[in-house]
Amino acid sequence: MSKKTVTITDNVSGKSVDFPIREGTHGPDVVDIKTLYGELGYFTYDPGFTSTASCRSDITFIDGDKGVLLYRGYPIDQLAEQSSFLEVSYLLMNGELPTKRELEGFEDSITRHTMVNESIKDFFGGFHYDAHPMAMLTAVVGSLSAFYHDQIDINDPESRRLCAHRILAKMPTIAAAAFKKILGEPFVYPRNELSYAGNLLRMMFARPSEDYEISPVAEKALDQLLILHADHEQNASTSTVRLAGSTGTNPFAAMAAGCAALWGPAHGGANEAVLNMLEEIGSADNVPRFIDKAKDKNDPFRLMGFGHRVYKNYDPRATIIRKTCHEVLDELGMSDDPQLELAMRLEEIALKDDYFVERKLYPNVDFYSGIIYRALGIPTEFFTVLFALGRTPGWIAQWEEMISDPEQRIGRPRQSYTGAAKRDYVAVHKR
């Protein structure tokens, strides 16, 4: 820890206390205020955690002003162009890029855990045909706790590693089963000779009545989209996984909590909301009216896929997805896709508007991803499920880092109480 400190002086008591500064590798240093309450009797107040570091982490770094995203120090554009989702998952979970032998061993382990207990099929039988796939994913991921709860020792690294591999391996199988439930089609089992993305596509789209051929374009695009969603510092769903995991709960239950948090339209649900928004806007002629709605404080409408708590520049993932979007649609013969045209027009107008420029609101990861998913034949309500699949190695890596942190304690925020002052009970006949 550096010798630098920040002094807080309480003008009421006149007491001054020096708090140590901790330096990181990149980004702002942090003031360690763990002893603030004990020294000065105050809590800090930071709803939304805009200025609060909840942990130290070696996993991912974002420079919001420069639009930089690093996974274990490697720039996201290099990984998106040159790596694979399972290699990136290994990197996030283990801290280093694997050797060829390590990668083959990891891929083999994940492949061998893709099956789920056959009784999980019964869970899907309980859902109505129009159940939202995120509701099904959240429920069934949490139900994995019921199968392994007596085998998990979260204090044993090997037990944690097995849990991690099971979660990463089974998410696509569960996600595809939710997709088949919606379609009313039979579930498709994973195949060990296929890639992670190829298996997912086949489990989603294959039918017993005909052969299914995996599109290399779709397989590559899906693998890249999973890479781009793999981790993102202490976002809402990752913070949820950490907080849930800090109680010592079953890791499958903590991941289910992450799924629940991700579903929100302000977070991972935004990719679905973007396509719904584009449908609502309809044509480029209507864009100015919707831009005005987004700027109107009395109108709850926001430009979905725009803005970010950390990025005050173009989300680097959006830059890559925008490029992939054009490539995929061109290769699929859909380059004149009206939704893409509309999205590009919306982006062009918004980025010239003072309201968005002043607030540094740029397209984020969710703005273009849905257009690719739709081009691959994936329905809008399924987009967030794919976000959850991508984010799974990040959740696992962050959960593992939290559990292994010697400073780790149960997360238990305090509050500023603004309710009624202490008062005595009044019997009902006297009220």
Binding site for ligand SDX (CB under 6 A): 232, 235, 266-268, 270, 294, 302-310, 359, 361, 364-366
The whole-angstrom distance between residue 113's C-alpha and the CA centroid of its chain comes to: 22
**DSSP letters of 144-189?**
THHHHTTT--TTSHHHHHHHHHHHHHHHHHHHHHHHHHHHT-----
Query: Smaller CB distance to ligand SDX: residue 123 or 395?
Result: 395
Active site residue 46: no
Q: Choose, from 223, 315, 337, 366, the residue flagged as catalytic.
A: 366
Q: Whole-number minimum distance, CB 324 to ligand SDX, in Å?
A: 17
What's the Cα-to-Cα distance from 158 to each of 153, 242, 256, rounded to whole Å?
Answer: 9, 19, 21
Query: Smaller CB distance to ligand SDX: residue 59 or 294?
Result: 294
Q: Is the dihedral of CA 43, 46, 47, 53 positive or negative?
A: negative
Query: Smaller CB distance to ligand SDX: residue 337 or 366?
Result: 366
Q: Choose, from 223, 231, 308, 315, the residue flagged as catalytic.
A: 308
Active site residue 229: no
Cβ atoms 124, 173 nearer than 8 A: no
Strand-strand pairing, 74-75 and 60-63: unpaired
Q: Whole-number minimum distance, CB 269 to ligand SDX, in Å?
A: 8
Helix (H) / strand (E) containing 68 = strand 68-71
Query: Smaller CB distance to ligand SDX: residue 214 or 262?
Result: 262
The secondary structure of 235-280, three-state, reads CHHHHHHHHHHCCCCCHHHHHHHHHHHHCCCCCCCHHHHHHHHHHH
Query: Smaller CB distance to ligand SDX: residue 161 or 345?
Result: 345
Q: Whole-number minimum distance, CB 270 to ligand SDX, in Å?
A: 3
**How many other C-beta atoms are found inside a 10 Å radius of the C-beta of residue 407?**
8
Residue nearest to ligand SDX (CB): 307
Q: Whole-number minimum distance, CB 161 to ligand SDX, in Å?
A: 24
Residue 346 burial (C-beta neighbours within 10 Å; 0-12, 13-18, 19+): buried
How far apart CA 33 and CA 12 sit, in angstroms, is 19
Q: Whole-number minimum distance, CB 213 to ligand SDX, in Å?
A: 32
Residues involved in catalysis: 308, 366
